[in-house]
Structure 1
């Protein structure tokens, strides 16, 4: 069952063409459906009326993530975004959840069947809890939005809901998605094809000039041990909260920053698991938003890779991490110091799915991914008259074949967000032989936090 949205209002005539990242995620969706997903989760102390969620759903259905991909057969021309006219319905659980099952419920809601061609790219769900509260989750395909795009959609929809405005694509961030292609599409596709061919030529030249630029190398995954697992495995995941004042004080005392401490904890966790050896240089990938005001792009993020040395029995060097982060940011501002692969994105967009699938089957996942969403929680904590006790955002790692996790060499993912008082970390251990269970992951985290003098509270 899907929900039909109101008719599309007048919009700009320029087609909103997909980016290289959109194209990559769309092609990967056909190989690994719904493997790349973002999730927002709320926990409220009081019971919310499901009708409030239905009204929020109506705003989301005419907002920034209400979009579908329309492909073209014109050679070299890119597909484009159009407003979605249908959406997946609100999922409301009729039975209150025991509090002990809240985390499992959050994780289960990420298993959604999306269809980017129809615009079925997000889903809202909610449930009351046995203790009298409410949990809410919004899941969105990475094809349709990155973390920044999802935040933009949420902020806009909540603002309109809380002001009592009616759902209206033309008056909301939904206006940025773009128009429905009408007459003149052939000429538009011809012009885009020409532009893409020029972009390919420019990208190849830039890649040649930057051929001496090297990114930090990743560590190969050790073949042993191999623990017994079922054929399908769910990555170990946990949510942990800490006092923001304590976090900032520890970072400052060690000569680092909030972001640097996040990276330091992640590298220490990876080392404690046995995934890397003493003295290894760990490649840490850090998403960096390139989003501008009124940006129509679904995905507008680049990755900043840095190298961090792991020392067994010692805490990570936060001043060195701080310097590495600064150097990486400066390097990505100059085309001459951007790695060649970044310049070749227009070439990637011309590759057919069969070629990209072949590359994807041998590609490797990040060994250490650290996403810092900053003080986003306080911007989206209010839903109608209610303020959430907890707000969580995370990149989702859905269940899959255990051998696939070993093959792509998933490591650890840490997602950081905070409000004025509390740090919330969503931690995923994607190596089945180093983080076999949630308990094992939490034990390693407790040891790492203790080394820093941090006091965690696990969900």
Structure 2
């Protein structure tokens, strides 16, 4: 049985109210209106793919939670009444409700036609199921499956036409994936959830593996704790999240701005930096432009640690401190050094400790971990498969995080989050603002375009 990692469980706790709730989103915009039948194909492929899973509890104390297949899914959401373009992001912001990676579907696919004649497609996923690169992988798998199915359908249609012309009979092939799963269920159209079977029906080997996993976890924790205690009793962890001033209404605002990749890379080179350091510089300048008064900004930088494509939260966090004299060139040096070190586990204790103690204790030990004034998540270049949906070329593909159900009690230290990805000949910058000084999504968008222009970048807002 596949097991949850330490970071997976951190995001699972946030889903349960122990921390800032986080869901990931991929957003696709197309020139024209996408047909619901294609969206249903993509939905079915996602349901039978890597996102089709849920968390199950272990039978043995100390064993890690595991993943089970789960083909249940929220139904496809499709709006036929066109959205005005300014309504796009506020509508997408509200798609994170009722995602449950443990007891129900942890993702949702939604789409809407736009008043400008195009479409927007939004995939929202609990962060416990996947990180950004993991979500990209899951979509890549699904879109490739849809492409293969469409090609197979075209081939069958051609064969059927030839057979009918010659008077030959044809056999109907069953498509792989969710269609096959539904064909084997007792009720047509109702998918079978293998994880829903009673525990008595599950293989004994799965329960035995809990014992083996628990033994391994406790061995790591005990030996690591002994080594840590040789250095003295660790200090009590202190949350990095400062107390926010009261009296402010909790508001989260979003913006997406698109840039030409050639121009972005040219400006980065002219400033002695890279595409990534220019990104960090821009997000930091935005926070100061919003009115952040401190002379320095703490920036948390996620680091992808996977060695092969998979959906798990396979990432670590590092940090840099940005001051007002920094340039893309100096931030390039700071980031390069930061990527060589990672934020350590609490008190030097083994990180597996967070998986064998009660959730509330684990939350206390890890509270505020990785949170700084800004988050700069560079997702990288998206696969070419994500640039088209069926026969519909995308005008832009964005990736970001949202905070469904966020309350003032769980407001993080992070005041502004930036997410950068490259799709074809464009960089797409997505921003999530939690600073009370941000008046609206429109104000955040205008500030982003203006700040980028001062650097020599011409941005187009979504």
TM-score by length of 2: 0.81
Structure 2 counterpart of 1:380: 386
Q: Deviations over 1:109-150 (max 9, x none)?
A: 2x3202222351111111222332221111000111111111
Residue 23 (str. 1) matches residue 21 (str. 2): no
**1:202-221 alignment runs, 5 A limit:** 202-204=223-225, 207=228
Q: Is the 8 A contact 1:221 1:275 kept in 2?
A: no
Q: Deviations over 1:209-265 (max 9, x none)?
A: 999xxxxx99875866x6753xxx331211111222221111101110000000111
**Which residue of 63, 79, 82 corresponds with 1:77?**
63
Q: Deviations over 1:137-189 (max 9, x none)?
A: 110001111111111110011001011164438x9xxxxx9999512233211
Q: 1: distance between equivalents of 2:315 and 2:222? A: 23
Residue 272 (str. 1) matches residue 289 (str. 2): yes
Q: 2: distance between equivalents of 1:256 and 1:453? A: 14
**Which residue of 305, 309, 319 corresponds with 2:329?**
319
My pick for the range that moved more, 140-149 or 364-373, is 364-373
SS in 2 for 1:425: strand
Residue 263 (str. 1) matches residue 280 (str. 2): yes
Q: Is the 8 A contact 2:318 2:370 kept in 1?
A: no
**Which residue of 203, 208, 211 corresponds with 1:182?**
203
Q: Describe the shift of the 1:440–1:144 C-alpha distance in structure 2 as closer, same or farther (beyond 3 A).
A: same
Structure 2 counterpart of 1:244: 261
Structure 2 counterpart of 1:330: 340
Residue 64 (str. 1) matches residue 50 (str. 2): yes
Q: Describe the shift of the 1:136–1:362 C-alpha distance in structure 2 as closer, same or farther (beyond 3 A).
A: closer
Q: Deviations over 1:61-109 (max 9, x none)?
A: 1100110111024111111101113111111123222333223222222
Residue 106 (str. 1) matches residue 92 (str. 2): yes
- 1:448 Cα offset (Å): 2.3
Q: Is the 8 A contact 1:394 1:426 kept in 2?
A: yes
Q: Describe the shift of the 1:364–1:384 C-alpha distance in structure 2 as closer, same or farther (beyond 3 A).
A: closer
Q: Is the 8 A contact 2:300 2:370 kept in 1?
A: no
Residue 144 (str. 1) matches residue 144 (str. 2): no
Gap regions ≥5 residues in structure 1: 1-14, 172-176, 212-216
Structure 1 counterpart of 2:219: 198
Q: 2: distance between equivalents of 1:257 and 1:403? A: 37
Q: Is the 8 A contact 1:246 1:454 kept in 2?
A: yes
**Which residue of 165, 172, 177 corresponds with 1:168?**
177
Q: 1: distance between equivalents of 2:220 and 2:36? A: 48
Q: 2: distance between equivalents of 1:200 and 1:140? A: 31
Runs of 4+ residues deviating >6 angstroms = 177-180, 208-211, 217-220, 360-364
Larger radius of gyration: 2
Q: 2: distance between equivalents of 1:395 and 1:220? A: 19
Q: 1: distance between equivalents of 2:442 and 2:67? A: 42
Structure 1 counterpart of 2:172: none
Q: 2: distance between equivalents of 1:158 and 1:321? A: 36
Aligned residues: 418
TM-score by length of 1: 0.82
Q: Is the 8 A contact 1:34 1:113 kept in 2?
A: no
Gap regions ≥5 residues in structure 2: 153-174, 181-193, 233-237
Structure 1 counterpart of 2:307: 292
Q: Is the 8 A contact 2:57 2:65 kept in 1?
A: yes
Q: Is the 8 A contact 2:239 2:367 kept in 1?
A: no
Task: Say what the alpha-carbon RMSD is for the aligned residues.
Answer: 3.3
**Which residue of 395, 401, 405 corresponds with 1:395?**
401
Q: Describe the shift of the 1:101–1:167 C-alpha distance in structure 2 as closer, same or farther (beyond 3 A).
A: farther
Q: Describe the shift of the 1:209–1:273 C-alpha distance in structure 2 as closer, same or farther (beyond 3 A).
A: farther
Structure 1 counterpart of 2:360: 354
Q: Is the 8 A contact 2:422 2:428 kept in 1?
A: yes
